[in-house]
Amino acid sequence: MNRSLSEYEPFVGRAILDQLYQLADDLKGMTVVHVNSTKEGGGVAEILFWMVPLMNELGIKASWEVVEGNSEYFNVTKMFHNGLQGNKANFTSAAKKIYEGTNEQNAQRLRPILENADAVFMHDPQPAYLLKLCPERKGRWIWRCHIDASNPHRQIWKYLRSFLSDYDASVFSMPNFAQYLGNPQFIIAPSIDPLSDKNCQISVSDINETYDKFNIDRNRPILTQVSRFDRFKDPIGVIKAFRLVQNFSPAQLILAGGGASDDPEGAAVLEEVKEAAGDDPDIHILMLPSDAHKTINAIQRISTIIIQKSTREGFGLTVTEGLWKGKPVIGGNVGGIILQVKDHHTGFLVNSPEGAAHRIRYLLRHQGRLRMMGEKGREFARDNFLLTRHLREYLTLLLGLKKGFTNRLIAT
Ligand code: UDP
């Protein structure tokens, strides 16, 4: 990405950019390494894709490393992911061995980069064990948790905490996602890039192509959920809600998803979704490649309402993307969706397929309200969830770590 910060001025104004340059002044030359477990697919990769180049533009020497592993490793880390979000799990010593062993293999490659970095952002649990394997680390290490860890599986949490508490700081997306780790904690919500292929303005021909390519009717409302095929995203619940809407108003449902390379459960969930959809021609299940950003952008723009009916959610970037496109969002009453869907203002929070259907039908009957909510949603996203706010908070955190503010925080 060769985009410059100045290109964001039309969205956020000059003062916001000046503030970023000022904050970064004291961070010039600092080496910052982000580590996660996939280059493509999922919200973390989306964020790092723009975060790393913009940090570089501000004079920070930022880079992005990805841990590699086989399917056994990703099965274990998926169990951690689900376990952190409260699922039952069978955490065995074999699983621990796979996790630690794969991190050890990655450490052999990454150790020099990580130990020499001034700051390391370790995203989620997959690579977090690397801290134990870099004893000569000279910089400050931050564990950045993107998921809802408020009610974790106890045994998994006990294990993860044994090394997460050695990080110099931790970052959660919302206050009620956080767990006590004995280090300074920061709350930083994620964000979207308004100039990315996923969120930029697109041409009428791209829009038309999308209708045609997926055989979507231009004349009936379109309800859309964009998500990995993951049970926490509740795609089956979305289909149930859609069936209840169909009984009253003609509509179409798009379930657009794909696999993230660190998510081994996707294929099984996709099969369940196909079975639930049956041969209904108004349910479009789209398996998209991980780089189908423009297509997702177009699908969100042609949608009447965006749905994100998750039963557990980290932040829910798909919600932000929907709001930014001026669409009301019907969202599960969980996780970061609550930060974004302001009930009755930018959309509706729901707790069941019936609730979702009720709200969808209401919006389809009240077009004025639907438009007004969409406009409010866009402004809400502009004020709170664009990348410049996110970058500012990361810079402030780095400054705090550099100047030792966080030690003082601990001391007080
Ligand atoms: N996404 C995508 N292709 C898909 C499904 C999702 O590009 O098939 C994108 C989606 O547009 C969003 C991100 O992946 O930008 C998902 O982030 P979110 O926070 O909603 O969920 P996560 O996958 O991180 O749980």
Question: Is 35 within 8 Å of 110 (Cβ atoms)?
Answer: yes
Confidence of residue 200 (pLDDT cuts 50, 70, 90): very high
Amino acid, single-letter form, for residue 260: A
Tally of CB atoms within 10 A around 306: 27
Confidence of residue 3 (pLDDT cuts 50, 70, 90): confident
Confidence of residue 265 (pLDDT cuts 50, 70, 90): confident
Separation of 43 CA from ligand 1 center, angstroms?
A: 5
Separation of 223 CA from ligand 1 center, angstroms?
A: 17
Mean pLDDT of all residues in 46-56: 93
CA distance 117 to 55: 15
Looking at per-residue pLDDT, the higher value among 386 and 43 belongs to 386
Q: Does 408 have pLDDT greater than 50?
A: no
Separation of 227 CA from ligand 1 center, angstroms?
A: 5
Domain with CATH 3.40.50.2000 in the chain: 5-191+386-411, 204-384
CATH, range 5-191+386-411 = 3.40.50.2000
Separation of 290 CA from ligand 1 center, angstroms?
A: 9
Atom of ligand 1 nearest to the CA of 190: 19
285, β-bridge pairs: 255
CA distance 161 to 150: 13
- Beta carbons within 8 Å of 221's beta carbon, 6+ residues apart: 249, 250, 251, 252, 304, 305, 364
Per-residue pLDDT at 405? 67
Confidence of residue 290 (pLDDT cuts 50, 70, 90): confident
Helix (H, G, I), strand (E, B) or coil at 222: strand
Q: Does 409 have pLDDT greater than 70?
A: no
Confidence of residue 391 (pLDDT cuts 50, 70, 90): very high
Confidence of residue 259 (pLDDT cuts 50, 70, 90): low
CATH topology of domain 204-384: Rossmann fold (3.40.50)
Confidence of residue 260 (pLDDT cuts 50, 70, 90): low
Mean pLDDT of all residues in 83-92: 92
pLDDT in tens, 142-197: 999 998 899 999 999 999 999 999 999 999 999 989 999 999 999 999 999 999 99
pLDDT in tens, 357-390: 999 999 999 999 999 999 999 999 999 999 999 9
- Beta carbons within 8 Å of 107's beta carbon, 6+ residues apart: 114, 130, 133, 134
Confidence of residue 117 (pLDDT cuts 50, 70, 90): very high
CA distance 85 to 128: 17
CA distance 366 to 370: 6
Mean pLDDT of the chain: 94
Q: Does 68 have pLDDT greater than 50?
A: yes
Does ligand 1 lie within 6 Å of residue 145's CB atom? Answer: no
Confidence of residue 262 (pLDDT cuts 50, 70, 90): low
CA distance 192 to 347: 19
Looking at per-residue pLDDT, the higher value among 313 and 112 belongs to 112
Does ligand 1 lie within 6 Å of residue 335's CB atom? Answer: no
Ligand 1 binding pocket mutation candidate from 36, 39, 44, 46 (most atoms within 8 A of CB): 46
User: For 107-121, 133-147, 162-176, 397-411, which range has the lowest pLDDT when averaged over its residues?
Assistant: 397-411
Question: Is 179 within 8 Å of 150 (Cβ atoms)?
Answer: yes
Atom of ligand 1 nearest to the CA of 336: 19
Does ligand 1 lie within 6 Å of residue 314's CB atom? Answer: yes
In 124-218 the beta strands, taken as DSSP E runs, fall at 140-144, 169-172, 185-187
CA terminus-to-terminus distance, the chain: 42
- Beta carbons within 8 Å of 191's beta carbon, 6+ residues apart: 47, 320, 385, 386, 387, 388, 389, 390
- Beta carbons within 8 Å of 272's beta carbon, 6+ residues apart: 236
Per-residue pLDDT at 139? 96
Amino acid, single-letter form, for residue 359: R
Per-residue pLDDT at 193? 93
Q: Does 41 have pLDDT greater than 80?
A: no
Mean pLDDT of all residues in 111-126: 98
**Closest Cα to atom 4 of ligand 1:** 257
Mean pLDDT of all residues in 276-294: 95
Mean pLDDT of all residues in 105-115: 98
Separation of 255 CA from ligand 1 center, angstroms?
A: 12
Per-residue pLDDT at 37? 96
Percent of the chain, pLDDT > 90? 88
Mean pLDDT of all residues in 222-250: 96
Confidence of residue 412 (pLDDT cuts 50, 70, 90): very low
Instruction: Return the sign of the alpha-carbon dihedral for residues 328, 334, 339, 343.
Output: positive
Q: Does 330 have pLDDT greater than 70?
A: yes
Separation of 321 CA from ligand 1 center, angstroms?
A: 10
Does ligand 1 lie within 6 Å of residue 296's CB atom? Answer: yes
Q: Does 410 have pLDDT greater than 60?
A: no
Confidence of residue 85 (pLDDT cuts 50, 70, 90): confident
